[in-house]
Structure formats: C-alpha cells, structure tokens
Structure 1
C-alpha cells in the first residue's frame, strides 16, 4: 500500500505548489517509477 500513499503524497505536494490541474499518478511497480 506504500505505492498508493506515495502517489497521494505527490498529488498533495502539487496542490501545495499551486498546480491547478492534478492528474492521478500510477506507480509502475516493476520499474518503481512514477507514471503520469
């Protein structure tokens, strides 16, 4: 479940930066990279 928490943290971070359009991010578990 850590990947989901990580994704939510990134979305929250973008909100704090004032980015109006925040798209849900999916974690590619096989590559451990953030997919947009």
Structure 2
C-alpha cells in the first residue's frame, strides 16, 4: 500500500485513485486533466 501510494502520488492514475477514495477532491480531477 505504501509503495503504491508513493508511485501513484506522482502519476495521474494516482490522482484518480485518490479522488475515488476522497470524492471531495473532485475539483482536483479538472486541474490534473
């Protein structure tokens, strides 16, 4: 779980995964996209 979060932290897929866990950061998807 730690290695995955570290790798996804710098990848776009990581941002999407974070959004799925925290639907509150929906605005982040628009900024990353």
TM-score, with structure 2 as normaliser: 0.37
Higher relative contact order (CA 8 A, sep 6+): 1
The structure where helix makes up a greater share of residues is 2
If you compute each CA radius of gyration, which structure gives the higher value, 1 or 2? 1
The structure where strand makes up a greater share of residues is 1
